[in-house]
Structures are given as C-alpha cells and as structure tokens.
Amino acid sequence: MAVLKRRGYVPQDIEPKWQKVWAERGVLVADDASDRPKYYNLVMFPYPSGELHMGHMRNYVIGDLVSRFYRMRGLEVLSPFGWDAFGLPAENAAIKAGRHPRDWTLGNIAIAKRQLAMMGVLYDWSREVTTCLPDYYRWTQELFLLFWERGLAYRRMAPVNWCPFDKTVLANEQVINGRCWRCDNLVEKKDLEQWFFKITEYADRLLDDLELLRGTWPEKVRVMQANWIGRSHGAEVDFAAENGEQIRIYTTRPDTLFGATFMVLAPEHPLVERVTTDAQRDAVRAYVERARRETEIERLSTEREKTGVFTGAHAINPVNGERIPIWIADYVLMGYGTGAIMAVPGHDERDFEFAKKFGLEIREVIAPPSGPVGELTAAYVEKEGSLVSSGQFDGMAPGPAIAAITTWLAEQGKGEAVTRYRLRDWLVSRQRYWGCPIPMVHCESCGLVPVPHSELPVELPPEYKPLAENPEWYTVTCPSCGRPARRETDTLDTFIDSSWYFLRYTSAHERERPFDPELANRWMAVDQYTGGVEHAILHLLYSRFFEKVLHDAGMVEPLEPFLRLFTQGMVKRNGQVMAKSAGNGVAADDLVKREGADAGRIYEMFIGPPEDDAEWTDSAIAGPVRFLHRVWRLVLEPETIEHSSATAAPASDEVLRRRTHQAIRKVTDDYTSFAFNTAVSALMELANAMQEHVAGGGALGEVWRESVDALILLLHPMAPHVTEELWERTGHAGLCADAAWPEYDATAAADPTITLIVQVDGKLRDRLELSAGLTEAGAREAALRSEKVGRALAGRPPRQVHYIPDRLINLVL
C-alpha cells in the first residue's frame, strides 16, 4: 500500500512529538498520595517474545483507552506494566540462536517497549517489573517460603505429566488434550518427586467466591473456573473383600447403593495385588501392565471400548450383604476419589456399558416417575422417581434417599459423607534453567531446609546449563547443620511469577518485603483487568489463590484480586489468529509508518465488539484514515468545506448542539461499557453532523467551538496524538490528556420533534414528523390524515389502536 499523501494531517510528523511530551511530563505516573479516587487499570503483562503485531496491540490499546478515559474523568489511575519474562521460549530460542535466555529476553523487552510507545500507549514505567530479574524473583522466593511456612508447599512422589520434548513436568492445567500446552507434543506419565502447592485447600473458597464476581466477570470464565474446580458431594463407603481387606469407594449416588452389582478398581489401585485370586493373577497382571504402558493416544481415542479383567475376588455390599465380583478396569481413575467404585449399571452409563460387555447383572433400583421400566435398555441417570428393590428405603425419592442412606452408613460405621474436587494440587516445580530457583536445600540429615531469608535471593548461575548439572552451584552447606548439602535444582512454574505481579506494582521498589501492605491496600483490588480468554483458568485461578493466601497472611485485604475482568477476542487475518508462526501478523512498525498509530488504534477499536474475535481486513483501515483527515479539516479549516445548498438541510446551532450532546452521552456510555466499536461510530456521526452543519451554511461561532472541543476530547482516548495536536492548534493551554471530560447536558440533547411510526396491521405505512408529547387521540388523528395510511385502510375503520407514546401507532383492522 502506498503511503497516503494528504495535505495537512501527517501522522508521522506529530505522533513522536506528543509521545515525547507525555513521557517527559509523566502523564500516567500514579501518585500514591493523591486524594482523588483510585482506579487500578491493569492489562495482562506479556511474555516478551519479539516484535509486536496488531493482534498483541488490541489488548494494550484497550488498556490505554481506559486509562486515558478515567484520568480525564478525574480518577487517579494506576496503569503499570511489566514482563512475564521467565519461560521456555527464551530457552528454546537461546538454544537455537546460541544466546543466553536473559539476553534474548531483555532484547525483546526493549523492542516491545519501543513499539508500545510508538502506538501512543502510556504506562507508569516507574513501576515496571521484570520477573526474571533478581530484584523481582527474590520476592517470588520469599513468597515460596511463606507458602512453605504456612504448610501450603510440599514435596512428594506422584504420577506427573512429563513433556519429553521440553524435558520438564507440567501442571494439570498445562496439559491440553494430552499434549503439552507449549510444544504440542504428547505428554507422558511418570512417577517423580515434585513440589506442589496445596491449592485444593482453597478449593471451596475459590469456588464460593466466584459469587463475588457475578456480573463483573464474563459468565463464561466463571463457569469454566467452577467446572475446573469441580466440587461434588457424595459418600465414601467401605466394602469388605472376602480376604478381609476393606475397599473404600466414592460415589455421588449413595441412593443407588442397592443397585451395585460389581465393583471396579483402577489398575494402579494398591489393593489390586492383594485381592486377586491365584487363578486370575496372570490375567490381572497382564492387564495392569498393559494399562501402565498405554499412551495418551490410546487414552484419547474417542470411541473408547471399555476394557477390564475379573480379579476372581468378591466383596460384600454393606447395605444388603450381597456378594459382588471385583473387577479391574482403566475407566476408573486412580487420581479421583479413592480409585475404586461400586458399579451401578442400572444408573450409570459407563457401568452400564461395562456390564453389557462383560455380561454382568443390571438391576433397576430407581424407578422413573412413570413407574419401573423392568428391562433397562440404557442407564437411567436422572434423580427423579423413587427407589425400588432398596429395602427399607423403597419409595423414597433419590434426593432424600441420598441423605438417608448416607446417614445410615455413618451410623453403621460403614461410610461417611465426603466432598470431592476435580481440582488437584498445583505442581509448581520445573526441570528448567530459565525460571525462579526454588529456595530450598536438601540435607541428608535435616531433610528439606529452607534457605534463610537473609540469604535470598538464590540467584541463577550466570552460565546457561541445567542446574542439576552444575555442582558448583548446587553444592552448599546445610543452613541448619552446616554439613554438605545440595540446593534444589528445580525452578518454579512461571505461573507463580505472574500470580502476584499486580501486588508488586503497588510498591515496585519496596526493599524489605514482596510489597508494602499499606500501598497494596491503597490500590487493590484491581478495578479493571483486561486480557485474553486463554488465561481463563490458569493465570486467573492461580492469582485468585495467591490473593487469598496473602489475605490470610494479613498482607492484603481484598478477597478477590480482580473486581472487573474483560477478556478481549483475538485478531485474525486470512482466517487465522495473527501470529508470527502463521506469518499473517500486521507489524506495528509497518502500520505506524503507513497509516499512523492513531488510525491503527481507531481501526482496532472499530473492527468489532472487543470481546469477540475480529478479522483484520487490510482495506478497511481506509475508513479510520479518512475519518481522521476529515476531523483535521473540520477542526482547522472548516471554511474549505463546500457549501452544498442542493443536499444540505438548513443548518442551525440548535441542531448541532443537540447532536454534540447526544454524542457526548453515547461515547461516554460506550467507553464505560467497553462498546468501543459503537463509540467510533458515534464519533463518525458527530463528524458527519458537523460537516452537514458547515455544508448547510451553519454559523462557526460558540456552538461550533463547543462541538469542536467535544469532538477532540471524546476522540482523545482512542486517537491521542492527533487530538493532542488539534487541542494545541485550537489554542488550548495544557495537554488534551489532562483536560476534563466534557459534560453532557440532557436538555441540549433532547429532541423536540419525534418520528411517529405509523403501522396498519403491524406493517409500516408512514413516518410522521411531529412535536413530542402527543396524546393517543392526537397521534391517531395525525395518522388518519396520512394519505398512505388512508390507502392502506381503504375506508375501513381500525378496530384496535396500539399507541406507544412518541414512537409508534399501530392501527389494527
């Protein structure tokens, strides 16, 4: 595309000038001591991966727009920025390019910082944080120790997700369809000793407090988090195996206990070996071996057939003393519940399928409201109807029966009510160099010993090589007994770094603690948090967890870190999400060179609702480009706009003023509610109205100047450079960025005339321009006077009349 050459407005001439002024004057540096109401406006800090394109920019433009808007409305805005700078891509790039991950990362930060400035995006850079620098990660280590001291960090052997390509373990949340979230390779299961955070201890609060976010977080995100935590209420029940072992099962449907016709243990269940009979031992061992070898590919095959093997053993159903067979099957997971189930094929789809395949008994114990089915052809899973073949509980509805049977089990000492979660503890250790070192020491005699606070930070060694292969680094003396010991060589998941950065911003230079609680409470909670939906579970759940732990530690008051959450959609081009790898990104540098930052910003806001994905069309940016040239001309040289007596309605100050105040109302509402696309439309309409005013020979007096000022001010959050220039050129002292938001005058915006819609039998027949405040009789009279209406009525009198004052009248025949 050729560089657009137009008279007057040359964005490339004015944009750098104003960027310099804003920076010099520290326009967006937040004042901790201000007595204006605070507004903490946060955008998700990025991973510095290289050049920014317009897909990245959408987030930052929204953030900047919000900052500028609320500043103009008189709030003390805190809008900090930083870098989520530890992580695998830096290591991968470093391996490829032979550079140290730190150099690669810091280089990218410099590029991104320049590009943000070039887009006119302002931040309070005095609070910048970079998670890979010791002055940040020393506090991450401090917080790790706080979790350790509060019993929330522990180390244990566990089956974990191992990515063979990235050579590290992954959190459950980082495994997507059995694949690594970073490199997309299949994940393996391994038994390893790893560090965990006890997020499950906070499961109830993380779930229940989602209620505090109703209406201010996208419903989608709240639902996703609730499902991820996955709380279920049920009972644990002991079944006695015939060899004397107790097998504890978990069920959410104790009401179906009389329908249990067999039991199933997970292949990894510790009792498998002990209950299996000699006759079945070989078959069971073969099955368990196969299940162990089974890869994620087989796990994921969609139409997965049930497999299993009989142990030869039996157990006794505690409610009715029945003897039922014990099976092994991999559809029962060791990681959930107790790793063992009672199978109720009549009322569970999976058990039904298994029973059908292996010819096991299917028994009906819940009759639907319409009565017992007799021969079940599918599992009846609804909780409606009544119990049958269930001894003393017959006739009860499933709901009450759940409570009654659970109570009975507890009284008999055979079971108890239990709450279970899908959420697992957070695996936080990674076998990578480029992360925050875990400040712990392994001592043969003392065990796990925390590094004393006075010795923090535990710094990464300068040389880039795996920590476990760096004896010079890991060999230390035990802080407790002084004997030779070994440093922990794992580093922390980068999601820990990003779980508290918003707190660090509130006192980024604090030297004694991770953050100053007083300042944290001055700014927290975040009033507006903006970022991508891809963080709906991971980052947002972990940050909420940290906030609650730090609340409990007395370091910050709010229970939830983010009051309002906005998740913006992704920008696509040629049908694909803009990405370096897809080669379809619109580079920010190119855009600024061609169309200018302001036009790019407007286009990005105009492209569609900000919460939706948007398709970037190269030609469509012409609209915002033309619009800005038109604004320039309207403000600085309205006399060059031709009078066009043929088309223009006679102009009046009253009409111009009305449309100006209507625009103030609309744009203010739209900025508040994140409807940026319609805010652009409203501004274009105001410009159209002003142009019509001039073309119609309207006066260029006081009302005109009010419109010009409003146009500049309303446009400023979206297109800061051109408006700053116009503000100066129209003779205002001070910065447009510092100016007060225009006041909306309801009287001026009120329309004295209305368009009455006239319908006959619900069909539009005429529109009448009338003065407002019409009675039904008056409206009816006016409607009947219309020639078009007369034709439609054809002499018939209306039987009914529906009148919506000042809007519509419907004559029904």
Partner RNA sequence: GCCGAGAUGGCGGAAUCGGCAGACGCGUCGGUCUCAAAAACCGAUGUCCGCAAGGACGUGCGGGUUCGACUCCCGCUCUCGGCACCA
**Which region, left, alpha or beta, applies to residue 596 given φ > 0 means left and ψ of -120 to 50 means alpha?**
left
Residues 6+ apart with CB under 8 A from 321: none
Which of 251, 506, 543, 567 contacts RNA by CB under 7 A?
Answer: 251
In order of 139, 391, 660, the CA distances from 131 in angstroms are: 10, 63, 47
Single out the residue of 417, 622, 735, 770 in contact with RNA (rule: CB under 7 A): 622
Residues sharing a CB contact under 8 Å with residue 807, sequence separation 6 or more, in sequence order:
754, 756, 757
Q: Residue 87 CB: number of other CB atoms within 10 A?
A: 25
Near RNA by CB under 7 A: residue from 73, 248, 350, 442: 350
Say how many CA atoms lie within 13 Å of 785 toward its Cβ: 10
Task: Check binding of 230 to RNA (CB under 7 A).
Answer: yes
Q: Which of 22, 86, 228, 310 binds RNA (CB under 7 A)?
A: 228
Of these, 29, 158, 224, 396, which contacts RNA (CB under 7 A)? 224
**In this structure, is the dihedral angle defined by the CA atoms of residues 48, 424, 298 and 251, taken in order, positive or negative?**
negative
Does residue 141 interact with RNA by CB under 7 A? Answer: no
- 100, 414, 626, 780: which one contacts RNA (CB under 7 A)? 626
- Closest residue by Cα to residue 459 from 37, 178, 19, 102: 102
Write down the least CB distance from residue 109 to RNA, Å.
28
Exactly one of 234, 561, 596, 742 binds RNA (CB under 7 A); which one? 234
Under the criterion CB under 7 A, does residue 215 sit at the interface with RNA? no
Out of 27, 328, 387, 675, name the contact with RNA by CB under 7 A: 675
Name residues whose C-beta falls within 8 Å of residue 595's C-beta, 6 or more positions apart in sequence. Answer: 4, 11, 603, 621, 624, 625
Nearest residue (CB) to RNA, 4 versus 373: 4
Query: Which residue carries 């910065």 as its tokens?
Result: 735
**Binding segment for RNA among 116-124, 184-192, 592-600, 669-677 (CB under 7 A)?**
669-677
Which range touches RNA (CB under 7 A), out of 31-39, 229-237, 357-365, 391-399?
229-237
Which SS3 state, helix, strand or coil, does residue 117 take? helix
3-state helix, strand, coil in the chain (%, to 5): 40, 20, 40
Question: Considering the complex, what minimum distance in angstroms separates the CB of residue 703 from RNA?
Answer: 21
Q: How far is the CB of 476 from RNA (least distance, A)?
A: 39
Which strands, in side-by-side order, build the sheet including 491-492?
Answer: 429-430, 491-492, 436-437
How many Å apart are CA 217 and CA 215, to the nearest integer? 6
Positions 731 through 790 that interact with RNA (CB under 7 A)? 755, 757, 759, 761-765, 767, 788
Q: Interface with RNA includes 242 (CB under 7 A)?
A: no
What binding mask, one character per residue, do residues 161-180 give for RNA by CB under 7 A, x or -?
---------------xx---
Footprint (CB under 7 A) of RNA, residues 87-116: none
**Stretch touching RNA by CB under 7 A, among 93-101, 186-194, 223-231, 513-521:** 223-231
- Interface of this chain with RNA, residues 519 to 538, rule: CB under 7 A: 533, 537
Give how many residues touch RNA by CB under 7 A: 92
Nearer to RNA, 312 or 805 (CB): 805
Q: Which is nearer to RNA, 41 or 786 (CB)?
A: 786
Enumerate residues 301-320 that contact RNA by CB under 7 A. Answer: 302, 304, 306
Under rule CB under 7 A, residue 335 binds RNA = yes
Q: Where does 280-393 have alpha helices with state H?
A: 281-293, 296-300, 349-358
Examine residue 299 and tell whether it contacts RNA (CB under 7 A). yes
Length of the chain equals 813
Q: If 0-12 CB within 10 Å is exposed, 13-18 middle and 19+ buried, where does residue 680 land? A: buried
- Between vectors from CA 662 to CA 530 and to CA 669, what angle results, nearest 5°? 20
Q: Which residue stretch of 23-31, 124-132, 237-245, 332-340 sits at the interface with RNA (rule: CB under 7 A)?
A: 332-340
Helix (H, G, I), strand (E, B) or coil at 465: coil
Distance in angstroms between the alpha carbons of the first and the last residue of the chain: 59
Binding to RNA by CB under 7 A, coded x per residue (else -) over 407-446, reads -------------x-x------------------------
Interface residue with RNA, options 370, 377, 581, 619 (CB under 7 A): 619
DSSP string, 77-88: EE-EEEE---SH
Please identify which residue in 615, 637, 702, 781 interacts with RNA, judged by CB under 7 A: 615
Which C-beta is closer to RNA: that of 290 or that of 486?
290
Q: What are the Cα distances from residue 734, in Å, to 23, 27, 72, 326, 727?
A: 15, 12, 13, 82, 9
Cα–Cα distance measured from residue 813 to residue 801, given in angstroms and rounded to the nearest whole number: 9
Please give the Cα distance from 519 to 507 (Å, whole number).
6
Report the residue from 480, 652, 681, 730 that binds RNA according to the rule CB under 7 A.
Answer: 681
Nearest distance from residue 343's CB to RNA, in Å?
Answer: 8
DSSP helix/strand/coil, 437: strand
| Segment near RNA (CB under 7 A); pick from 17-25, 391-399, 556-564, 685-693 | 685-693
Q: Which of 321, 647, 769, 797 binds RNA (CB under 7 A)?
A: 647
User: Should residue 661 be labelled a site residue for RNA when binding is judged by CB under 7 A?
Assistant: no
Distance CA 764, CA 402 (A): 59
Which of 17, 705, 791, 796 contacts RNA by CB under 7 A?
Answer: 791
Of 184, 459, 612, 702, the residue at the interface with RNA (CB under 7 A) is 612
Give the type of residue at 177. N
Does 292 sit near RNA (CB under 7 A)?
no
Q: Give me the long-range contacts of 179-188 (CB less than 8 A, separation at least 24).
A: 179/296, 182/88, 182/89, 183/88, 186/295, 186/296, 186/297, 187/161, 187/162, 187/163, 187/296, 188/161, 188/162, 188/163, 188/164, 188/295, 188/296
Cβ closest to RNA, residue 486 vs residue 665 = 665
Q: Does 685 bind RNA (CB under 7 A)?
A: yes
**Which one among 12, 644, 672, 753 touches RNA, defined by CB under 7 A?**
644
Contacting range for RNA; rule: CB under 7 A; set: 82-90, 182-190, 357-365, 805-813: 805-813
Binding segment (CB under 7 A) for RNA, from list 45-53, 159-167, 587-595, 803-811: 803-811
Q: Residues 455-494: x/- map of binding to RNA (CB under 7 A)?
A: ----------------------------------------
* Nearest-approach distance from CB 617 to RNA, in angstroms: 6
Residue with tokens 């913006």, as numbered in its chain:
568
Q: Which is nearer to RNA, 12 or 126 (CB)?
A: 12
Place of tokens 């054809």: 794
Is the Cβ of residue 78 or residue 163 nearer to RNA in the bound state? 163
Residue in 664, 716, 671 with CA at minimum distance from that of residue 689 = 664
Stretch touching RNA by CB under 7 A, among 133-141, 144-152, 215-223, 401-409: 215-223
> What H or E segment, with its residue span, contains residue 386?
strand 386-387
